[in-house]
Amino acid sequence: MNWLITGGAGFIGSNFVAYILKKHEDINIINLDKLTYAGNIKHLESVMNNPRHTFVEGDICDAELVDRLFDIYQFTTVIHFAAESHVDNSINNPQTFIQTNVLGTFNLLEAARKSWMKGIGIYKEGYQSARFIHISTDEVYGSLGEKGLFNENSSYAPNSPYSASKASADLIVRSYYHTYKLNVITTNCSNNYGPMQHEEKLIPTIIRKALALESIPIYGDGKNVRDWIYVIDHCRAIEMVFFKGRVGETYLIGGHNEKTNLEIAHEICDILNCYIPVQKNDKEITNYKQLITFVKDRPGHDFRYAIDDSKLRNEVGFVMKNSFSEGLKKTVLHYLKQNTSYIL
Ligand code: NAD
């Protein structure tokens, strides 16, 4: 079985590639990634010598390349992670978000449709169970107030160019089911944390700034709430949706773990204070928490996201494995081990 994974050199994609290769010996992965600033070939060190993994450096917006890969490898599965994913960048440079997240997704859907189907709802021989999983975000639903949860029936209300581009892609994916009966499923997940996340994101930034004894920037008053899930739990949920999910459906994936950004910063500082107590320094810092600094909020910053994942649990039987305190400790230790100056 040949699976096309897009964006497999990024944070979630690289965790997913390693997870699937280890767990399923009958799956070959062709990993298509453009290696933008967010992708890193080093994330794939553990799988680069695996004969069931083939890395292709390329752009999902390159329709010729994507078609050629479908011809050569005759994929029966697409798991589509590739995206521009950082909200702050989407405010400064929205164009690449529309290009990759919208047009790139469209390209992949077209390639799958042409490769798998000979008419509306009619699959070519050998492709009857071919399936396309589109990985999306809970940010497409906009912002919640103090109470309430997103579910699969929540209205789309994206507030940033990032979430708008992901919402657009979700709708195109939906249309390929309703129009062509292409076997698609969309997953909308909350904030991920874990190894291999780009240093620009909240948790790696807090760790990096703390270790450098620099200000830890927290937007606004730090009270924005996100629901956090350990990346491997997200990978397990995608795997379960692939094997057990219903065609044409969407599934929300969450961590049952709402935290304010300030709470996240405090918890990371607690772990660091325990493993790498602050050394004597001329800034007179004795606890990493002293570095927390509130900075001007970003425009369109959603107040709160939270997920009702009962459909995922009831239909595919998903059960979370990593508690937040365990997952966060593993994550902090991962980043500490990457930094050779810290001997643990
Ligand atoms: P990431 O930014 O770490 O990785 C994205 C990967 O896509 C990178 O390796 C990059 O090189 C690649 N890429 C970008 N443009 C490409 C293109 N045009 N062609 C081929 N490859 C390209 O992102 P991530 O955090 O791993 O997120 C993966 C997916 O999951 C995204 O679709 C994102 O919207 C979604 N998601 C992420 C989170 C999260 O908390 N990180 C939560 C929910 C959903």
Atom 42, ligand 1: residue with shortest CA distance: 191
* Ligand 1 within 6 A of CB of 36: yes
Mean pLDDT of 136-150: 96
* Ligand 1 within 6 A of CB of 11: yes
CA dihedral 170→54→125→25, nearest 10 degrees, is -100
Pairing of strands 53-57, 122-123: unpaired
Check residue 303 and give left, alpha or beta (phi > 0: left; psi -120 to 50: alpha): alpha
C-alpha closest to that of 329 among 254, 268, 278: 268
Atom 1, ligand 1: residue with shortest CA distance: 10
* Ligand 1 within 6 A of CB of 60: yes
Atom of ligand 1 nearest to the CA of 40: 9
pLDDT of residue 300: 83
Per-residue pLDDT at 344 exceeds 60? no
Ligand 1 midpoint to CA 8 (Å): 8
Residues 6+ apart with CB under 8 A from 19: 232, 235, 236, 239
pLDDT, one tens digit per residue, over 149-180 is 999 999 999 999 999 999 999 999 999 999 99
Structure tokens at 307: 């997920």
For residue 98, the SS3 value is: helix
Mean pLDDT of 93-101: 97
* Ligand 1 within 6 A of CB of 10: yes
Ligand 1 midpoint to CA 148 (Å): 27
Mean pLDDT of 206-219: 96
- pLDDT category of residue 340 using cuts at 50, 70 and 90: low
Per-residue pLDDT at 341 exceeds 70? no
pLDDT, one tens digit per residue, over 284-338 is 999 999 999 999 998 988 999 999 999 999 999 999 999 999 999 999 999 998 8
How far apart CA 102 and CA 168 sit, in angstroms, is 6
C-alpha closest to that of 140 among 83, 99, 180: 83
Ligand 1 midpoint to CA 86 (Å): 9
pLDDT of residue 219: 95
Catalytic (active site) residue 138:
yes
* Ligand 1 within 6 A of CB of 203: no
Per-residue pLDDT at 343 exceeds 60? no
Atom of ligand 1 nearest to the CA of 198: 3
Ligand 1 midpoint to CA 10 (Å): 6
C-alpha closest to that of 152 among 303, 310, 259, 258: 310
Residue 266: count of CB within 10 angstroms of its CB: 16
* Given 84, 139, 170, 239, the catalytic residue: 139
* Ligand 1 within 6 A of CB of 76: no
Q: For each of the domains in the chain, give its residue range(s) and CATH number, in order of start.
A: 2-197+230-256+303-322 (3.40.50.720)
Ligand 1 midpoint to CA 262 (Å): 25
C-alpha closest to that of 44 among 195, 155, 231: 195
* Ligand 1 within 6 A of CB of 254: no
pLDDT, one tens digit per residue, over 272-290 is 999 999 999 989 999 999 9
Pairing of strands 122-123, 117-119: antiparallel
**134 DSSP β-pair partners:** 80, 186
pLDDT of residue 223: 95
Mean pLDDT of 190-213: 95
108: Cα within 13 Å, side-chain hemisphere: 34
Catalytic (active site) residue 249:
no
Buried b (16+ CB within 10 A) or exposed e, 97-130: bbebbbbbbbbbbbbbbebbbeeeeebeeebeeb
pLDDT of residue 96: 98
pLDDT, one tens digit per residue, over 50-65 is 999 999 999 999 999 9
